[in-house]
Amino acid sequence: MDASSDHGAASRATRLVLASASPRRLALLQQVGIEPDSLLPADIDETPRKSEPPRDLARRLARDKLAAAEAALHGAQDATPTWLLSADTVVAVGRRVLPKAELPDEAADCLRMLSGRQHRVYTAVCLLSPKGRRERVIETRVRFKRLSGRDIQGYIDSGEWRGKAGGYAIQGIAGAFVVKLVGSYSAVVGLPLYETVSLLDGEGYPIRAGWAAAA
């Protein structure tokens, strides 16, 4: 049996559902040879609670996304062993959570706050497998250069910030703003690859089944 046959057999025997609409999280999984069988975005209220620490917010939202996706799958007449994966990313300066910017003024405010200082990015990952539930919260420290008015206006004009936590996408133009990063780069993008793959592997998902096809 060749490698493609092995992958086909594995995909029929298992199912991976990504509870996210993020193209970045999907691309990160595909980068390491993992192709979800389906996407199941969860529509939840992401408003922080009063005095809720950023780490706790990331964990709660990832759990809520997992629960919403699990409820959507509940009752499906499918005996295929399923792994359900969710994640959420929160950008914070101290205890202040920065929004997922939707308006230019929001993004500009975020960039001015991040300019010349360190901030923290918390990405929580939750996994529901046939064995049970597992989760991790990854903290990454990022320092931006001091941004000029031209930097901020140019970035606003790019539109890259729209819908991004903290008003920036590190995998794009904003990568040029980063002076120092301590932790997981992929977690800042949206999904910590080492921790996610370790969770899947530890819970019995065939993470290597697609490697030959990915190569």
pLDDT higher than threshold 70 for residue 202: yes
Asked if residues 130 and 82 have their Cβ atoms less than 8 Å apart, the reply is yes
**Amino acid 214: pLDDT:** 61
**Backbone dihedral region for residue 163 (phi beyond 0: left; psi -120 to 50: alpha; all else: beta):** left
Give domain 3-214's CATH architecture.
Alpha-Beta Complex (3.90)
Per-residue pLDDT for 1 more than 80? Answer: no
How many CB atoms within 10 Å of residue 204? 13
pTM: 0.90
Name every residue whose Cβ is closer than 8 Å to that of residue 140 and which is 6 or more positions away in sequence.
120, 121, 122, 123, 181, 182, 183, 184, 185, 187, 188
The structure tokens 């819908």 sit at: 163
Residue 115 φ/ψ, nearest 5 degrees: -60, 125
* Residue in 133, 37, 18 with CA at minimum distance from that of residue 87: 18
pLDDT at residue number 3: 37
Is pLDDT of 131 > 80?
A: yes
Position 78 scores a pLDDT of: 65
58 or 6: which leads in pLDDT: 58
Q: Given a cut of 60, is residue 124 above it in pLDDT?
A: yes
pLDDT digits (tens, 9 = 90+) for 177-198: 999 999 999 999 999 999 999 9
CB 200 within 8 A of CB 14: no
For the question of residue 109 being annotated catalytic, the response is: no
How confident is residue 6, by pLDDT bands cut at 50, 70 and 90? Answer: very low
Q: What is the pLDDT of residue 59?
A: 97
Q: What are the phi and psi torsion angles at 118 (to 5°)? A: -90, 140
Which comes out higher in pLDDT, residue 214 or 137? 137
77: exposed, middle or buried (Cβ count in 10 Å: 0-12, 13-18, 19+): exposed
In this prediction, residue 76 has a pLDDT band, given cuts at 50, 70 and 90, of low
Arithmetic mean of pLDDT, 20-39: 94
Residue in 2, 88, 109, 151 annotated catalytic: 88
Q: Percentage of residues in the chain with pLDDT exceeding 90? A: 80
